[in-house]
A and B are shown apart, each in its own frame.
Chain A
């Protein structure tokens, strides 16, 4: 079944048929759904099969077709998030949805990298959100119990048959700017006051302000060849503090990203290799906004637009994709 936006009635039918689903949509729609093997998160922005869309009338559906051996749906908060790796099957994957700006969001982002066995199976997912022009609260949904949460994460662990394996790919249009100074941080944190810029202690807010840096561009760190972004949420010059949408880590060397001339074209080039048959994929709200992706089609990229992407750990301004392949 193709991953795309469907009507509420169609989604009800799919749940009643016993399909295992990962859903994204408006809270009012998800609240109408019957109990079943599904998890969900709120968001009204999507990359649908034909173009980028804002919709509060349709639900984006990923059918987890390979979930034939075993499935478990578990709610996580800051007290049990450490168990997410242990709860996973030996061969499979985990799809996780987290509410934004809550303790669970904060804790997962900071702890994930140090979780034992994190890379045993792919953990993929997204941070749910809401209409940016509304006062709506973002929620996660446990379809099995019919409960929704503003402060808890929901995960579906899927067991794959022995002849299959899951893998994650990321598509990032940003790369380090060679002209940028090297930035190092003192602590793992979402907020930064002082840091080392080319080895010299500097107030980051002052530096960004003085150099008139474009805060639409993320900081980028190199993870053995992977460019990992940390997007800037706010530069508070008055208080001398910079906030990020994901944590920066002590010991990593960051640089500002190289400016992008043409956002859409960059995505087109970067996602030529995108697998449109992916089990799940999602893209960042900042890419959607800065790239003005509404009503635009970029190759075959699909999925909910998110307030953060998860590919083992929390990412920003990145397209994440999970595929299941035969061994």
Chain B
């Protein structure tokens, strides 16, 4: 049981007149002191009566939580307050403060862990994006290489085809010269068709001219088609 400082102590009065103004911890004491100060200020109760009342209540609730700590804060170490009890309360307070620190620390750790997790996730996402981009680049590069290779091959085939046609054309010309047939200004492709034309009459010439025109027109169309459909389809149509 703690002992409550005597009613004669000046501190009781100072507490009620505001000369001592320490924040208290015990809830009953906080509320009672607030009420008593108000009543004293309004003149509804004398300081002495208020001290009597508070003293008696402090005796009644002397074992209440933080009461001894509050009394020590008001009256100092020289009071008859049970110091072991104060030490216990201080230990309790320290223990609570420790618990608070642990909670705060846990919160900090949780926050840090969460932040780390978020950073890791962001990093993983970035890595995944980079990986996908790399794969895409690689694919595009391969496709380009494939296209280029294909393009080279096609060019070779085209050149070979032109060479064969040219050869055939020259052979045709040579043949015609041998047969004394007049030379006709035909292009490479019309020369293939020309191979099948045996007639040397004017009508035939007219047909050939018409054909030449058609071929030229087709060629023009092919160029346009090539532009639209790429070299592969141009190559295909060119041979049709």
Contacts and interface: CB of A to CB of B under 8 A. Distances in A.
Contacts of B32: 119
B63 A327 contact: yes
A142 to B, nearest CB: 28
A224 B30 CA distance: 5
13 contacts: A118-B35, A119-B35, A122-B28, A165-B64, A170-B27, A224-B24, A224-B29, A224-B31, A225-B23, A225-B30, A265-B103, A272-B103, A312-B31
Of the listed residues B24, B37, B60, B99, the one surrounded by the most CB atoms of chain A closer than 10 A to its CB is B60
A226 B65 contact: no
B28 A224 contact: no
Interface residues of B, number: 29
B57 A167 contact: no
Contact of B25 (A222, A225, A269): A225
Interface of B: 1, 22-25, 27-35, 37-38, 41, 57, 60-61, 63-65, 96, 99-100, 103-104, 107
Contacts of A223: 30-31, 34
Of the listed residues A91, A224, A268, the one surrounded by the most CB atoms of chain B closer than 10 A to its CB is A224
Contacts of A114: 35
B23 A224 contact: yes
Contacts of B1: 327
B33 A224 contact: yes
A114 B45 CA distance: 12
A251 B107 contact: no
B138 to A, nearest CB: 48
A261 to B, nearest CB: 10
Nearest to B1: A327
Interface residues of A, number: 29
Contacts, number: 72
Interface of A: 91, 113-114, 118-120, 122, 165, 167-170, 222-226, 251, 265, 268-269, 272-273, 311-313, 325-327
B170 to A, nearest CB: 93
A273 B96 contact: yes
Contacts of B37: 224
Contacts of B64: 165, 167, 325
B195 to A, nearest CB: 92
A269 B108 CA distance: 14
Contact of A269 (B24, B65, B104): B104
A204 B30 CA distance: 28
A307 B31 CA distance: 22
A228 to B, nearest CB: 9
A251 B107 CA distance: 40
Given A165-B61, A273-B96, A326-B63, 9 more contacts: A113-B35, A119-B31, A167-B64, A168-B27, A169-B27, A226-B27, A226-B34, A272-B99, A311-B27
A184 to B, nearest CB: 14
Contact of B34 (A120, A169, A224, A268): A224
Contacts of A269: 100, 103-104
Nearest to A115: B35
A39 B60 CA distance: 28
A222 B21 CA distance: 12
A325 B65 CA distance: 10
A225 B104 CA distance: 23
Contacts of B24: 224-226
A51 to B, nearest CB: 19
Nearest to B101: A269
Contact of B63 (A91, A120, A165, A273): A165
Nearest to A120: B57
Contacts of A222: 23
Contact of B103 (A91, A120, A226, A268): A268
A165 B34 CA distance: 22
Nearest to A272: B99
Contacts of B34: 223-224, 226
Nearest to B97: A272
A325 B63 contact: yes
Nearest to A91: B60
B70 to A, nearest CB: 8
Contact of A272 (B31, B38, B57, B100): B100
A133 to B, nearest CB: 34
Contacts of B29: 224
Contacts of A225: 22-25, 30
